[in-house]
Structure 1
Amino acid sequence: MRIGLKMGKNGANRYETSGWIPVLLVWALVLNGFHSPLLAWSFQGAAAMGSGILPENSPETQAVEARWTLVPRINGRVSGSMITISDAFEITDNDLSADKSRERGSEIGNIILTTAPSPGTERRIDPSLVYYRLRLSGIQASSVKWVNGARTITLLSGSRVVDDSRIRAAVSGYLKKTLGNMDYEADFTVPARNMVIPDCDYEIKVEALQDSAVDINRVRVLIVDLDGNTLSTLMLRVSLAIFKEVLIASRTIEAGEDLGSGNLEIRRTRVLVWKDEYINDFSAVEGMVAGKRIGAGTAVSRDMFRQPLLVRANSDVTVVSRFGGVTISLRAKAMDSGSVDENVRVLNSESRKMFTARVTGRDTVEVR
């Protein structure tokens, strides 16, 4: 059987059906305190569910049974931009004495299925789409059987609310597993709203939205059933601070100033998670100078210091050349500044020739 929707000649959207039209007997559970009805619908073996919202702070709700019969419309019309259940089905209430049941049945008809087709086009109502849309409400079919020639859905016992403490524990466990032995502090808040899922066993999965394992500021929380189907999702912002025992400038150190124990101390401090060049050993900066101004309280990293300049631009230097056992030296002018083992340009003042030499000591370079 197929249910389709076409635009009629008078401009109104019209449903068309072909094949055998069954009467669909639907069992649903309406939960006390729900603002929207809960519906289960069976069509070609696919179950669908309606929408419902649990009141806050109500992890458990008593179920009340009601029954409706849904019959596909042969020439259903839709006047708006969306197709609802009442556009596609005749809804009859089998518990006519229950005013609340009739009210819920009316609300079922307002559940949106999909968008209406454009003029001259056809739109199919896919049972799997209906199942997906309505399942988000937290109702799940547990069985499908034939009763007096009609297919009947038996629902699970309603919905449940995911405990916030379980979400917090899952996120905390994920951070601990991901960050390992890192010294860190994490702060996040689970929104004050209920995550309603079908009343079934579930597990919570957490994943970061960044490529870096330690650069975490947003995570996705997935509530999945035991078959791996996603029941609900939640995005959380995480304020993550990574701490290390590193060298800290105990006072402001100017560029070019020698680094030493008098200027530095080892202290636990917050560091940038993407930077892995912090120093925790005084020997690593021995004989080094600040490459730039380092403010008091700043964690020292390798890009902040350098070896001292042994040769300065426009200064006279001694050029040493070794050929076999013979050593020749002459005076020249350095055109660049450089530290030990760096190459600088040197100008021979007499021949006016420029060449490159390696810095080996204070005002000394070597040509090989």
Structure 2
Amino acid sequence: MSYTKISVVIFGNTESLKKALITNILGKDLSVLPMRKILKNTEIYENYTYEITCTPDFDIFCDDMKELFSKNSHSDMCLLVVEDGFSPENVGKQIDDLSKKTGKPREEFTVVLPLTYEPSDYCFKSCPIQQLFSELDKLAKHRQPQSTDNSSGHGLQTMSNMPKTGGSHGKDSFTDPKKCLKRKHTGTTVNLVLLGMAGTGKSASGNTILGKKSFMSKPSSKPVTTEFQVAETEMNDLRVRVIDSPDIFDDDTEASVWDKHVKKCKQLCESEPCVYVLVMHVSRFTDCEKDIMEKLEKAFGREVKEKTVVLFTRGDDLQQAKMSLKDFLHSCQPGLREIVEKCGNRCVLFENSRLSSQEVGKLIDTVIRLLE
């Protein structure tokens, strides 16, 4: 038997966005994946299911793209990644230029919309990022193995029928703990309960995880989320049920309201495994947050810390300060460091104003490990 990988070519004018998308599709840090160059500035990353070609930014994009497509004329998807606030007119021109340089019709290019964008009457084909992942999953699942045929050189492959022996790729696919856990929990629904003080970015983080704007999120001097809200998505065969919560940690919250919120949260989580996501603003640590773990334990029991991940928002604040998350945790207030340590040092950093697929992937990997 032989197998043909799903071929995806990614275009765009921002390398970080292209690499973030590739990371999310392949489900692994690109630094540990095999990479090869077929042209001076064109890289290919792959696993057993996908072969993804990352093209250079448009300022160094040249006519040798025709050579690329002469080698990859049967790509399954051609994707154009655009930034938040993109100009539809400029994107239309980019697609026209791509069509001329590659020889492929305009309709074969799909624009991957940034988070919070919905499909619209653009002059080009587009899709939200979460829809893209769904389409890729369907494509992978529907492919079936074919006998070797030297005339075509193609056979098809899905995760369920990959070879289990031979080659560094085969070893990676079946011994990587993350991939093994994902296969083990295929079809599982997990509740992600977003908890934290008002204004920390719970709703915005929920939208980032979902890949769409399901929860109301806006700057406000008073809490925007006053009741529990629920929305679902699917990632790598894991069904994720995101639960956005009101602020239950405010010291001014009445006891009756506190009891009502805790009871509601437990009801929402009673039928599925639950992971608590404690959302905190990376540039703010308040007096109310200093005893937040005690409040969590009071609400959900002493074992809650074993099922909690700390999610820091406003990642750009660290970037502007030229700090990594590790640097921040090393220099942060002792009270905050103690919270992170109580949660097993499980923490991720989000920047909700832009595509954060790599960060979402890290969060989901952490969640999957917690399911054990």
Structure 1 length-normalised TM: 0.20
Structure with the bigger percentage of strand:
1
Structure with the bigger percentage of helix:
2
Structure number with greater Rg is 1
Instruction: Compare relative contact order (CA 8 Å, sep 6+) and give the higher one, 1 or 2.
Output: 2
